[in-house]
Amino acid sequence: MTILFDLDGTLIDSTEAILESFGVSFKEFDLKIPSDDVIKSFIGYPLEIMYKELGIKTENIADIVAIYKKHYREISRKKTTLLLNAKEALEEASKFAVLGVVTTKTKRYSLELLEYMDILRYFKVIIGREDVQNPKPHPEPILKAMDILDAKIEKTWMIGDTRMDIESAKGANIQHCAVLCGYGNIDELTMNGNLIFLNTLEAIKYIQKL
């Protein structure tokens, strides 16, 4: 059995760090900062897509992303926490499955956060934004993780909090479920997948029973 996890909104809560970093980057360009709700509605997409959707011109995206990343790295450890029951979920899942992370977050920062929170040891593979050409919702990140782990399609699950996670899993032809502890809209999640749980531990308990 293989279980792949999204990161933000599935295992960790870095909302404060994300919003603050967006604020700093918009201020640097002397631009009006979007509301928290608008920014949160795009969490799960790669930063370059988030900034494009938030109205940043294409020629400025690389520079504003660099500002975001610099600030985010400075504050991410202090302003990121594990979601409720996330560590318990990983402890339970590791008893019967090989675990991996598939995220649109930069792998470098993901590794730092996972190690800082003492959960990096649970994972055999971490796939970040820089590891693929096509991020979620494309299936490439999941397929790359599966290839590294030599995972079988019929024995692989993806757990995430947004429709990008579910669409990526569907594209990879693997089983999937959504959690409500993150950024996904429940209506979108209901449309894109019929297995929805309050948190990751509930999802793991369901998979364990199968």
Q: Which of 6, 8, 161, 165 is flagged as catalytic? A: 6
Q: How far apart are CA 96 and CA 57, in angstroms?
A: 47
6 among known catalytic residues: yes
- Catalytic annotation, residues: 6
